Amino acid sequence: MHSKRSHTPCFHYFLLVILSCGFSNGQSRNPTDLPSLLEFSDGRSVKTQVDFENRKKEIRKLLCEYFVGEFPKLTPKILSAKTLSSQDLTDGSQRKRIRITLNTPHQQSFELALWIPKGHGPFPLLLTAPRFYQRFWAKDALARGYAVCLFPGVDSHHREKDYVGYDSIWEKFRQEYPQATWTEISTKGWLASRCVDYLLSEQSVLKVETGKIAIIGFSRYGKQAMIAAAFDHRITCIVARSPGSPASSPYRLTSRNTFAETPSDFPGNWFLSSLRDFQGREHQLPIDAHAWYALIAPRRCLIHTALNDGSEPTFAVEKAYKEGQKVYQFLNEKNNLRIDYRAGGHSSGPPTEPISAADRRRNLDWIDLSFHRGSATQKEFPEALLHDFNWVQWRAKQDDASLTIAENAPVAKRIQWLLGIPPENLQGMEQPEFLTREESSLMTHDRWMPKEVQRVPIRFGDGVRGNLYFKAGLVSPAPVVVWLHPFSYHSGYNEGYGVQGTTIYHRLAQNGFAVIAYDQCGFGLRLREGRDFYQRYPQWSRLGRMVTDVTAAVSFAVDGKGSYEKAIPKLDPQRVYLLGYSVGALAAMIAGGLDERVTGTACFCGWTPMRSNLNRRLWEEHALLPRLGLYQGNEENLPLDYDDILQRLAQNPCLVVTPARDRFADNQAVADTMAKLTQENRKLLWLSPDDTNRFQAEQHQIFINWIEGLAANKD
């Protein structure tokens, strides 16, 4: 029981000051907490350099066991190095092909390509696999005076006609060491190191400048670059452009509820197949992708990621970065690790040159800076984060009187209290009236579109831009679904990884619904809006803005408030449904309970009772409801919980789906809450399938079946 009094949680301020400084070392408290890199598996803290070296050994072992497999126990020596071809170019540079034979059981050989600048050296060295878009880096680096080694690391799903075998030689080396469990990506990283063996040897046809060896890669090759450097300390600078999971982005933070890569999404032999067993239970991995930083530190490392990269949610990148920075700070080299954001998506140029010239220059500027070359300065690579909410600073801006709510206040009033105080006027964003063709292409809005489905850009509320999806040829007014997406910071309402056949909004349109889809505050094309939110609206909350936008979407459907780029079908104001998944379920749950015009609401995942399990995800990590932070450590006195919200929501038909193996929920507490609520309210349907947290074709059909059931019962 919680006390019968008004809630004045200000006395918890001092407690939260302490908590906001970070948890002490120990077991993960939230399912997205990353294992500490400065703490041994048995809980001991890293205090000295010797401790850290031992912790690195432990991390290296875990990464091999769970991610990339074991390497050969002994590194084979070079038996011979033969120049296969040599070409002199008009600019004075040279191109050579070298065949290296190693002392493996069957004396296996591989080829590498060298681009050598004019002069006698020694030269700084850049390593990269010769995928066509990476050779632009090689050309630019050569012009800056770098020697370039194109090592046999082309992915087995790619082919380069001028580099035959660079995609397949790894298989022969795996056969040389059948006792090793290494994967494709780790074998190719190992081959990069064998190139370094040769280039630093007396047999080398060029001299490498001491301590100046860099490696660079894009996407899967960014993963490869990080892994190669993690196991070879001679590589002193790393640039990984959009390396995704599990490289810059830990699996704990890119599971199905982010529409990003999961352990079941990597192709072929990139990583150990046993890693796929952690799908849906990623938090049980004893180590995660942030651990590459522990093996790379204190060397220079740049993660070059895009704001709307389909493979790399910014939230996941930053969480890993912050854990990596703890290692770099421990080693007194905090400037050696950086995230460098760029606008756009995974690629920044045309298909023939997906890495723009400007991006290539910036990548090479980082390498120049690392090697004390060129004119770039550290100030040109500041630490500029998107998800760096400071709860203590937020608390200092609050009026204590506004933080008081009577326990017996109506539920609606308590919900509004939790959402905060909205401003009288919202500050407008500079943007086109409707989503542009370029923006829709960036977010791949049409990627999974069936032929019979149409998309029309719409605008409603306070500058919210989205799309209306519907089936061509609709005659009768269409029922409306407002689709509210999960924690997909990079892609907003668009689904990425894990699509089965088509996306939810396309599938619903195929079934006769008109679907309102848009990016919620702080996600997708509105990512920067989330970063700046509390500077603009310190008394409000991001979830408050999200609920306001849902209400505006309902007004578009019911009252026609808004605009559209071209003709749309008639919408049925008597059949307006909210469909939310993960954080979208929270927005749907609250908005549906406050707005009587909503016909029915469906919530998939997204919540767990707070009085028994209030964690930092809502109020600090994702900065959705800062007022919840006032009750950390005093959860029993929260003025409301989800049972209050759901009781109000279930005045109209309501579907709640809570999978029994949702790693983000206290599933027993959820079950206890829902069992009681369903006994009291027949309009509330609760399903708890034996499943993990996901929203794919099966879940789409559950929603469609529920709607059809409502219609049948009404008839």
Phi, psi of 32 (to 5 degrees): -105, 0
**Containing structural domain, residue 322:** 49-380
Distance CA 692, CA 677 (A): 22
pLDDT value at residue 13: 38
Let me know if residue 13 belongs to a domain. no
pLDDT band of 613, cuts 50, 70, 90: confident
Q: Quick one: tokens of 223?
A: 């993963």
- The mean per-residue pLDDT over the stretch 464-473 comes to 97
Scan for tokens 């919202």, then name that residue. 426
Q: Please check the confidence at residue 61 and state whether its pLDDT lies above 80.
A: yes
Let me know if residue 332 belongs to a domain. yes
Q: Quick one: tokens of 380?
A: 């040109």
Q: Are residues 117 and 160 in the same domain?
A: yes
DSSP structure string for 613-664? ---HIIIIIS-S-GGGGGGTT-GGG-S--HHHHHHHHTTS-EEEE--TT-TT
Q: What percent of the chain has a predicted confidence (pLDDT) above 70?
A: 96
Let me know if residue 197 belongs to a domain. yes
Distance CA 69, CA 553 (A): 50
Q: Are residues 550 and 578 in the same domain?
A: yes
- The mean per-residue pLDDT over the stretch 560-576 comes to 97
CATH of the domain at 324: 3.40.50.1820
Q: Please check the confidence at residue 680 and state whether its pLDDT lies above 90.
A: no
pLDDT value at residue 29: 62
Note the pLDDT tens digit of each residue in 106-125. 999 999 999 999 999 999 99
Q: Are residues 347 and 440 in the same domain?
A: no
Q: Are residues 264 and 202 in the same domain?
A: yes
Let me know if residue 17 belongs to a domain. no
> What average pLDDT does the chain have?
94
pLDDT band of 9, cuts 50, 70, 90: very low
pLDDT value at residue 4: 37
Rg of the chain over CA atoms, in angstroms?
Answer: 27
Q: Please check the confidence at residue 16 and state whether its pLDDT lies above 70.
A: no
Q: Are residues 351 and 477 in the same domain?
A: no
Note the pLDDT tens digit of each residue in 475-497. 999 999 999 999 999 999 999 99
Q: Please check the confidence at residue 182 and state whether its pLDDT lies above 60.
A: yes
Q: Are residues 365 and 500 in the same domain?
A: no
Final residue of a domain: which of 380, 413, 443? 380
600-604 sheet: strands from edge to edge: 563-564, 453-460, 464-471, 514-518, 478-484, 571-581, 600-604, 654-657, 684-687
Q: Are residues 369 and 396 in the same domain?
A: no
Beta strands 453-460 and 208-218: pairing type? unpaired
pLDDT value at residue 714: 74
Q: Are residues 327 and 400 in the same domain?
A: no
Distance CA 15, CA 17 (A): 5
Beta strands 464-471 and 514-518: pairing type? antiparallel
Note the pLDDT tens digit of each residue in 309-335. 999 999 999 999 999 999 999 999 999
pLDDT band of 2, cuts 50, 70, 90: very low
DSSP structure string for 42-57? TSPBP-SHHHHHHHHH
Contacts 24+ apart (CB under 8 A), 135-142: 136/353, 136/355, 136/357, 136/360, 137/216, 137/355, 137/360, 137/363, 137/364, 140/357, 140/360, 140/361, 140/364, 141/364, 141/367, 142/93, 142/115, 142/117
pLDDT value at residue 96: 98
Q: Which stretch of 93-107, 444-458, 671-685 has the lowest confidence by average pLDDT?
A: 671-685
The pTM score is 0.94
pLDDT value at residue 528: 95
Note the pLDDT tens digit of each residue in 184-213. 999 999 999 999 999 999 999 999 999 999
Q: Please check the confidence at residue 19 and state whether its pLDDT lies above 50.
A: no
Of residues 350 and 129, the one with the higher pLDDT is 129
Q: Please check the confidence at residue 20 and state whether its pLDDT lies above 60.
A: no
Distance of CA 374 to the CA centre of its chain: 33
Note whether 26 and 402 are within 8 A (CB): no
Q: Please check the confidence at residue 7 and state whether its pLDDT lies above 60.
A: no
Scan for tokens 């830990």, then name that residue. 250
Q: Are residues 354 and 406 in the same domain?
A: no
DSSP structure string for 144-179? TT-EEEE-S---TT---TTSTTTTTHHHHHHHH-TT
Report angle CA 231, 269, 70 to the nearest 5 degrees. 35
Q: Quick one: tokens of 519?
A: 């990016």
Domain count, the chain: 2
Note the pLDDT tens digit of each residue in 224-235. 999 999 999 999
Note the pLDDT tens digit of each residue in 514-535. 999 999 999 999 999 999 999 9
Let me know if residue 34 belongs to a domain. no
Distance CA 326, CA 332 (A): 10
Of residues 406 and 41, the one with the higher pLDDT is 41
Let me know if residue 641 belongs to a domain. yes
Note whether 68 and 226 are within 8 A (CB): no
For the CA atoms of 558, 559, 562, 568, what is the dihedral angle to 10 degrees? Answer: 60
Let me know if residue 3 belongs to a domain. no
pLDDT band of 239, cuts 50, 70, 90: very high
Let me know if residue 645 belongs to a domain. yes
Q: Are residues 364 and 410 in the same domain?
A: no
Note the pLDDT tens digit of each residue in 433-457. 999 999 999 999 999 999 999 999 9
DSSP structure string for 7-18? E-GGGGHHHHHH
Q: Are residues 105 and 178 in the same domain?
A: yes
Distance CA 369, CA 365 (A): 6
Q: Are residues 419 and 306 in the same domain?
A: no
Note whether 321 and 314 are within 8 A (CB): no
pLDDT value at residue 571: 98
